[in-house]
Amino acid sequence: MAKDNLLVGLDVGSTKVAATCGEIVEGMINVTGFVKVPNNGVRKGVVTDIEDTVSAISDALEKLERTCGTRISSAIVGISGSHISTSISKGVVAVARADGEIGRSDVERVLAAARTVALPPNREIIHVIPRTYTVDGQQSIVDPVGMTGIRLEVEALVISGATAAIRNLTKCVYQAGLEIQGLVFSPIACAHRMISKKQKEIGSMLLDLGGGTTSLAVYEEGDILHAAVIPVGSSHITNDLAIGLRTSIEMAEKIKIKYGSAIPDKVRESEIISLSQFAQGENQRIERKYVSEIIQARLGEIFALINQELKKIGKEGMLPAGVILTGGGSKLEDLVEAAKEELRLPAAIGVRNIDMGGFVDKLADPVYAASVGLMLYALEESKGNFSSFSLEGGVIGKAKSFFKQFLP
Ligand SMILES: Nc1ncnc2c1ncn2[C@@H]1O[C@H](COP(=O)(O)OP(=O)(O)OP(=O)(O)O)[C@@H](O)[C@H]1O
Ligand SMILES: [Mg+2]
């Protein structure tokens, strides 16, 4: 039997499937299991092979069930990929109550109105995230519930994705035998875990350096301002190394992880890497500085694309609370310093911002950032603190009332 108070975060990434599970105890998550298995069915954040992806999810699920000792029947699933795009939508409604007091239902109606944005038939909404409300012309209201007025307006950020990409992902999850409690754009889940309210207020960016993608979510004045997924990630660095050093991909990956640096100037001219340590019969010797130069070239491209996204919203070099880095790619040596230089912003590796119990130290690995973030996001959603809609007819809404019984 699956436990009732169980939350599972499922991150189907371009290099791995990561899943974490935890129990809601007194309104907090106690993490009871985490797993990571390689995945070959996703490219650049999008499912390209259903069979491989289903098999990776099933494998992860089986291992997770074994570690946490309970059956798992549903999960909160992260979605990413360069098909994701954002737009601004507005909604207007008349306040329902005769005395003009704005209630939760008015807010839900105005968000539903913002949701009726015209999208091409091949796209679907993933989130409608309220940015600011206006009550009878008074702008910049954060939470209108309890206020009095006649006309309620909202400006919301709509995050949408390609129908085919969304369907292929959900199909894989269903085929692996899981119900989907909610579909959440991964960087938002990571940001929820790693960026404090204050940092979101001042201006900050979550940057997830994954294998096949680099995704970002920008916050200011407490609201999400922009989000994007760039189809270039750390695997591209590995591929460049394989070509530049004439080695296999596996060897290039090992070299990147053990000897890679994001800044060639930090590497001494004399440092030589002997490849014999990685494979028998291999006698090639390479300069570590050259490895770093190859890495720097690809990172330069990634940072330029990030700056382009920031430029679109007038925030290039303009986020005082800086960049919070996560994802496996962020573990590269000297990456934080390179990010500071290239983005002209403060930068740091993301740490948890919300208290949890259980295997907390193990989950500090940025590879689990999204799956843990998904659990925390769902918990917050269940407390009614978010009002973003999720796909599949507001599945999170159903989860909300379900989890409520476990909250203090
Ligand atoms: N110590 C390390 N140094 C450098 N790179 C690393 C290190 N550890 C992992 N990586 C890289 O991180 C990448 C995987 O990161 P992550 O698990 O966040 O990606 P993903 O979620 O599978 O992909 P995506 O989010 O793009 O769909 C791989 O390219 C891997 O080489
Ligand atoms: Mg990822």
Same structural domain, 155 and 211: no
Q: Tell me which of 263, 367, 368, 371 to substitute to probe ligand 1's pocket, judged by most ligand atoms within 8 Å of the beta carbon.
A: 367
| 235 Cα: distance to centroid of ligand 1 (angstroms) | 7
Q: Can you give the residue range of the structural domain that contains 103?
A: 85-161
Average pLDDT of the chain, as a whole number: 91
CATH code of the domain in which 318 resides: 3.30.420.40
pTM, rounded to two decimals: 0.92
Query: Which atom of ligand 1 is found nearest the CA of 253?
Result: 31
Which three-class secondary structure state does DSSP give residue 383?
Answer: coil
Confirm or reject: Cβ of 333 under 6 Å from ligand 1.
no
Same structural domain, 201 and 343: yes
Give the residue carrying structure tokens 């108070």.
Answer: 5
Which residues, at least 6 apart from 250, have a Cβ–Cβ distance to it below 8 Å? none
Which residues, at least 6 apart from 155, have a Cβ–Cβ distance to it below 8 Å? 88, 89, 90, 114, 130, 131, 132, 133, 134
Which residues, at least 6 apart from 94, have a Cβ–Cβ distance to it below 8 Å? 150, 151, 152
Confirm or reject: Cβ of 78 under 6 Å from ligand 1.
no
Same structural domain, 200 and 140: no
Q: Is residue 211 part of a domain?
A: yes
Which of 143, 161, 179 terminates a domain? The answer is 161
Protein residue closest via CA to atom 28 of ligand 1: 211
Share above pLDDT 70 across residues of the chain, in percent, rounded to a whole number: 93
Its sign, for the CA torsion 160, 161, 164, 166, is negative
- In DSSP terms, 322 is beta-bridged to none
Same structural domain, 216 and 142: no
Protein residue closest via CA to atom 21 of ligand 1: 13
| 213 Cα: distance to centroid of ligand 2 (angstroms) | 7
How large is the C-alpha radius of gyration of the chain? 22
Same structural domain, 223 and 313: yes
- In DSSP terms, 152 is beta-bridged to 93, 135
Which of 351, 367, 384 terminates a domain? The answer is 351
Give the residue carrying structure tokens 């390179």.
Answer: 338
**How far is residue 70 from each of residues 2, 170, 173, 335, measured CA to CA in Å?**
6, 23, 18, 39
Dihedral in degrees, nearest 10, Cα atoms 396, 398, 401, 406: -70
| 81 Cα: distance to centroid of ligand 1 (angstroms) | 15
| 41 Cα: distance to centroid of ligand 1 (angstroms) | 15
Longest dimension (CA), the chain: 83
Supply the pLDDT for residue 358: 81
Supply the pLDDT for residue 138: 96
Residues of the chain with pLDDT under 70: 1-3, 384-408
Same structural domain, 156 and 251: no
Q: What is the pLDDT of residues 33-69, one digit of tens each?
A: 999 999 999 999 999 999 999 999 999 999 999 998 9
Which residues, at least 6 apart from 333, have a Cβ–Cβ distance to it below 8 Å? 260, 261, 262
Q: Is residue 172 part of a domain?
A: no
Q: What is the pLDDT of residues 170-192, one digit of tens each?
A: 999 999 999 999 999 999 999 99
Spatial distance between the Cα atoms of 166 and 169, rounded to a whole number of angstroms? 5
Spatial distance between the Cα atoms of 196 and 214, rounded to a whole number of angstroms? 21
Q: Is residue 378 part of a domain?
A: no
Residue type, 299: L
Q: Is residue 311 part of a domain?
A: yes
Confirm or reject: Cβ of 210 under 6 Å from ligand 1.
yes
- In DSSP terms, 130 is beta-bridged to 156
Q: Quickly count: other Cβ atoms within 10 Å of residue 236's Cβ.
A: 20
Query: Which atom of ligand 1 is found nearest the CA of 45?
Result: 27
Q: What is the pLDDT of residues 127-136, one digit of tens each?
A: 999 989 999 9
Supply the pLDDT for residue 3: 66
Q: Is residue 344 part of a domain?
A: yes
Spatial distance between the Cα atoms of 380 and 390, rounded to a whole number of angstroms? 14
Its sign, for the CA torsion 158, 161, 162, 167, is negative
| 286 Cα: distance to centroid of ligand 1 (angstroms) | 23
Confirm or reject: Cβ of 256 under 6 Å from ligand 1.
yes
Same structural domain, 216 and 321: yes
Query: Which atom of ligand 1 is found nearest the CA of 235?
Result: 29
Same structural domain, 139 and 202: no
Confirm or reject: Cβ of 82 under 6 Å from ligand 1.
no
393 φψ region: left (φ > 0), alpha (ψ -120 to 50), beta (else): left
Share above pLDDT 90 across residues of the chain, in percent, rounded to a whole number: 81
Which of 351, 367, 383 terminates a domain? The answer is 351
CATH code of the domain in which 148 resides: 3.30.1490.110
DSSP per-residue string spanning 131-190: EEEEETTEEEES--TT-B-SEEEEEEEEEEEEHHHHHHHHHHHHHTT-EEEEEEEHHHHH
Give the residue carrying structure tokens 């909160």.
Answer: 76
Query: Which atom of ligand 1 is found nearest the CA of 257?
Result: 3
Q: Is residue 191 part of a domain?
A: no
Same structural domain, 155 and 204: no
CB 237 within 8 A of CB 298: yes
Query: Which atom of ligand 1 is found nearest the CA of 370?
Result: 21
Supply the pLDDT for residue 389: 40
Q: At what angle do helices 391-403 and 369-382 cross, to 10 degrees?
A: 70
Spatial distance between the Cα atoms of 141 and 138, rounded to a whole number of angstroms? 7
- In DSSP terms, 228 is beta-bridged to 216
Supply the pLDDT for residue 397: 44
DSSP per-residue string spanning 305-374: HHHHHHHHTT-TT--TT-EEEESGGGGSBTHHHHHHHHHTS-EEE----S--EESTTGGGSGGGHHHHHH
DSSP type of residue 82: T
Spatial distance between the Cα atoms of 99 and 90, rounded to a whole number of angstroms? 25
Same structural domain, 138 and 200: no
Give the residue carrying structure tokens 């979510």.
Answer: 217
* Total number of domains in the chain: 2
Same structural domain, 229 and 156: no
DSSP type of residue 90: E
Supply the pLDDT for residue 384: 63
Same structural domain, 258 and 342: yes
